[in-house]
Each structure stands twice: as structure tokens, then as C-alpha cells.
Amino acid sequence: MSPRVFREIMEACAPHLQWRVTFYKEPLQPDQIVVYALYGWASGETYESSTCNFGIDRASCLVVVRDVTAALLRVYKEKIAWPTGVRKLVVLRAFADKGFLNCHGWIDCTHIYADKPVNAPSENNYDRKRRFSIVSQVVVDLDFRVVDVHMGYPGSCHDIKVVQLSSLWQRAESGSLFLGPPVTPPFGVRTNDYILADNGYPRSEWMTVPYGGVNQHVDEERFDNKQKVARGAVERVFGRLKGMWRLFLRTHKTNLDTLLQQFTVVCILHKIPSLIDVGIPFDENLLWEVESDANGV
């Protein structure tokens, strides 16, 4: 993260942190508080190993992260939103160039792993690999921007159940989310607004999944191959998120009450100031580590 981007974040959050400063054992400046939280998310170090480097005791570090998380959500809460105006047209054009007319994004889930807290419910939070986790559902576009986040369900929860319990499902089913006119390409089929998903999701009017199966018709196989290519966008978003904000790459000690908000914050930081809009370079080699970790290697 460049100094200019950090200053912008710090200046935006400072008014929401000033009144908290005097509650710590030693007065801490807003820039010291913000940099500690960002360092923890980016380095993957927990409060047990990083507090001494910032002059913050272990008792205060949890409050620092909580305060910075709340401040970032308050300042940038409107950044995770479905695109409108010119940006919406750019998204639709990008998917159309890939062969998906009227497509608004790709939906998928990822697991956020954590050490099981002593008093936390256990069985439901274990995924199929017997790892304690929380499920996060995101929708992204082809420019790796996160447009919707929904999380908080235990690791054993299936993708279908997560989406059906989300506000995305409610808005789409009620007809209040996708309001654009249908498109009918030459010699094609009338196409309403929709998002792409894998076979773990139900097929619906606004959610398109691959045909799958064996002995496919050539058109079905062509469609599935195109969708497989488009899926790379959401996989790379997960890779970039966990590669840059390494606290969420592996299991770590955390407060489950704020874990959900912290992951939402890094989705905001990924979308707005850190990777895309200001062109901060990303080391693609980090994606290999994310992929290895996901496969349990």
C-alpha cells in the first residue's frame, strides 16, 4: 500500500477514532491505530506477536482492531454495492465480450478459517475437511471488484442454503435487484438480467449454472467452457484477497464477533483503495500459496 493511499484511509477514519484515543492505557494517534490494524490484516500476524512493534499492549490491540474496523465500515460502507450508471454499463459490456449478455457478476463462496474459541459451537462450524470455518459469499465482476458480500454461516452450511438466506436472494426473487430490460440477440433467446454460478447453486431465472453431465451437446459444452473461463475472475478475487490480506489465508486466533466485519473491510480495501483504483501491483506468485492452502497441501 502506498503512503498516499494510507494517508487517505487514515484521514477518512481519524474523525471516528479521535474520541477513542483517551481510553487506551497510553494515548495512541489515529495513524498508529490504523497502521496496526492494516499491518495485522496484511502480515497475518496475530496480536500475540505484533503488539510490541507498535507500542500497543495485548489488552488494547483487540479494541484497536475493533475500532478501526468500525471506522472503515462507517466511512466506506457504500463501496460494496451493485454498480450503477457508467460502471454498470462497463460490467455488462465486459461479460458480453465473454459471451454472456445481460450478466452482472459471478457468485461463489469461500471459507474463513479460525481457531475454535473455547465457548463457540463446534460441530456445525466444521467444513467437510473438518476445519473450523465461517462461510463468506461474494459476488464479483470481471475486473475483480466485489459488489456484494454476505457471510456469517458455519462452515458446514452449503452454498445453496447461504444464498437462500441472503439479502441477494430476497432482492432477486422479489424483482427489486435486476431491473434492466431483457436482451434478445439476433437468432438468440430472450435474456433477462442474471449472475453466473457453479453447479453448487440452484438454477433460476436470475442465476445461470453450467449444464454439466456427460455426452454433452456441442453447444452445451461450448457454454460450459466459456463459463469455466469466466469463473477465473472469482477465483482470482479470493486469491488476491487472501494473498494480500494474509490474516485470512490460514487458521488464526480471532474474535468471531468481529471476524465477519473484518473480512468485509478487506473486501472494501481490495475494491477501492488498494489494488484496483490506484493500480497497486500484486505479486501473482502469492496465488500459488493460496491455492496450495485451499487444497490442504
Q: For the residues of 187-244, what is the DSSP string, one character each?
A: TS--B--EEE--TTS--BTTEE----SSS--HHHHHHHHHHHHHHHHHHHHHHHHHHH
- pLDDT value of residue 21: 44
Identify the helix (H) or strand (E) that includes residue 259: helix 256-269
Average pLDDT, the chain: 81
CA distance 103 to 18: 43
Residue 27 pLDDT greater than 90, yes or no: no
- pLDDT value of residue 11: 87
More confident residue, 25 or 190: 190
Provide the sign of the torsion angle of the four alpha carbons 151, 74, 194, 175, taken in this order.
Answer: positive
- Residue pair 126/155 in contact (Cβ under 8 Å)? The answer is yes
Of 6, 2, 76, 75, the C-alpha closest to 34 is 6
- pLDDT value of residue 283: 56
- Residue pair 252/121 in contact (Cβ under 8 Å)? The answer is no
Q: Place 173 in a pLDDT band, splitting at 50, 70 and 90.
A: very high
Residue 293 pLDDT greater than 70, yes or no: no
Residue 197 pLDDT greater than 50, yes or no: yes
pTM of this prediction exceeds 0.85: no
Identify the helix (H) or strand (E) that includes residue 111: strand 103-113
Beginning with the edge strand found earlier in the chain, give each strand of the sheet holding 146-154 in spatial order: 146-154, 133-140, 103-113, 194-196, 207-208
At residue 132, what are phi and psi to the nearest 5 degrees? -70, 120
Residue 289 pLDDT greater than 70, yes or no: no
Domain ranges of the chain: 3-76, 85-260
What percent of the chain is predicted at pLDDT more than 90?
26
pLDDT tens-digit profile of 125-141?
888 888 888 999 999 99
Minimum mean pLDDT range among 27-31, 135-139, 181-185: 27-31
Q: What is the 3-state secondary structure (H, E, C) of 150-202?
A: EEEEECCCCHHHHHHCCHHHHHHHHCCCCCCCCECCCCCCCECCEEECCCCCC
Residue 179 pLDDT greater than 80, yes or no: yes
| Mean pLDDT, rounded, for 235-253 | 85
CA 25 distance to own-chain centroid: 34
Q: Place 147 in a pLDDT band, splitting at 50, 70 and 90.
A: very high
| Mean pLDDT, rounded, for 282-295 | 51
